Amino acid sequence: MSVAYRPVGWTRSKIIYDAVLLAAVALYLVAFLRFAPAARPASTLLDAQSLAIKAYGSCGFLLLTLVLMIGPLARLDERFLPLLYNRRHFGVITCAVAASHAMAVFDWYFAYSPLSPWVALFATDVASGELRGLPFIPFGVLALLILLVLAATSHDFWLSFLGPPVWKAIHMSVYGAYGLVVLHVGFGALQDARNPGLPMLVCGSAGALIALHLAAAWRERRRDRPAAFQAEGWVTAGLIREVPSGRGLVVPLADGSSVAIFRENDSLAAISHLCAHQNGPLGEGRLRDGCVICPWHGYEYRLRDGCAPAPFTERVATYRLRLEGETILLDTRPNPLGTAVELVAIPEALR
């Protein structure tokens, strides 16, 4: 994150992330252009332009699938969290590949049209009265427009300007874009597919994506059981041994909110589970120098008062804790933003 709005606040991790991703995209495109002609039926002609269209299109589809897989994978296994940190970079590169696919289509299919390419794009894609003849180009165009909007608004400026709820709602439309891409391929390329590779790619990718989201949802549902109510706003949050050192324990509350309890050395503290930046899951972050690091974009908050270190100004609520033996009790009433709390010391016998 940055104090002032800059095009990109580059860090070493972002450079490595983007370099690996760009290298993987380049490797895929080179491999596709090299080996795809050998996989086609002998009776099928495949010119260089059509090959490029298929290469960009399949690469864009795979990238978009992977972008949507990162979230549930990180929920199921924290080893995937590094992929989540700069997922917006992943999305922008996906948009660039999808746009390359669209430009390749323009340069080949509409290069010699007497009509404007934009007119020809829709005028030549007409229904024949059957499901097989349903126009597929509008699905792809609409999906690309959604990706362009998401890429254009990916910077934190738009997050701050629109506010987290609106910004998040806009970026959830990526799922609509994915559905449109599946329809675009289903009513387009799959209709005339003579090689089982493309149907297997589309169906397998979509099926795996759905399965991952269902598995993550099931896991979160089991975890999101409200803590047992005690009295005067206090609930049983769990046991000391359930809080891993340097990590957090997420405690769902009856009102739908969640609190993250962290163990730093031999003390406990609680802050809101939601990051002030983009509602990222702070409870899945790690501790460093008394601060919780959000696993999504690296925003930091001090455990003792929920404030980001200077010069940053983001804040999250703190909560009061107390111990009854090995049981952790949590006051569900959040403190006013910026309120400092004393960390609760763990008795030596329970460390």
Concatenate the DSSP letters of all residues of 145-175 into one string: HHHHHHHHT-SHHHHHHH-HHHHHHHHTTHH
Dihedral sign of CA atoms 174, 204, 36, 125 in order = negative
- Write down the pLDDT at residue 191: 67
For the cut 70, the answer to whether the pLDDT of residue 154 exceeds it is yes
Give the E-state strand segments of the chain in sequence order.
228-229, 234-239, 248-252, 258-264, 267-272, 286-288, 291-293, 300-302, 318-319, 321-324, 327-331, 344-345
pLDDT at 167: 84
Q: How is the chain split into domains, by residue range?
A: 12-222, 228-350
pLDDT digits (tens, 9 = 90+) for 267-300: 899 999 988 887 888 888 888 888 998 887 778 9
Q: Is 268 left (phi over 0), alpha (psi -120 to 50) or beta?
A: beta
pLDDT at 182: 92
Q: What is the mean pLDDT of the segment spanning 209-222?
A: 85
Please name the CATH architecture into which domain 228-350 falls. 3-layer Sandwich (2.102)
> pTM for the full model?
0.70
Question: Which amino acid, residue 339?
Answer: T
Tokens of 33: 């252009």
Determine which helix (DSSP H) or strand (DSSP E) holds 116, and give its type and residue range: none
Between these two residues, 114 and 41, which has the higher pLDDT value? 114
Exposure letters 69-90 (e unless 16+ CB within 10 A, then b): bbbbbbbeeeeebebbbbbbbb
Contacts 24+ apart (CB under 8 A), 12-21: 13/82, 13/85, 13/86, 14/86, 14/89, 17/82, 17/85, 17/86, 17/89, 18/86, 18/89, 18/93, 21/89, 21/90, 21/93
Q: Residue 160: its pLDDT value, please?
A: 76
Mean per-residue pLDDT over the chain, rounded: 83
Which is more confidently placed, 230 or 325? 325
pLDDT in tens, 156-190: 788 778 877 888 889 999 999 999 999 988 887 76
Among 165, 148, 160, 170, which residue's Cα sits nearest to residue 1?
Answer: 160
**What contacts 162, CB < 8 A, 6 or more positions away?**
153, 170
pLDDT digits (tens, 9 = 90+) for 304-314: 999 998 888 88
Give the DSSP letter of residue 200.
H
What CA–CA distance (Å, rounded) separates 47 from 136?
Answer: 22
Higher confidence at residue 123 or residue 259? 259
The 10s digit of each residue's pLDDT in 332-341 is: 899 999 898 8
Helix (H, G, I), strand (E, B) or coil at 97: helix
| 228 band by pLDDT with thresholds 50, 70 and 90 | low
- pLDDT at residue 225, rounded to an integer: 58
Q: What distance in Å separates the CA atoms of residue 133 and residue 52, rounded to the nearest whole number?
A: 24
Task: Report whether pLDDT(11) > 80.
Answer: no
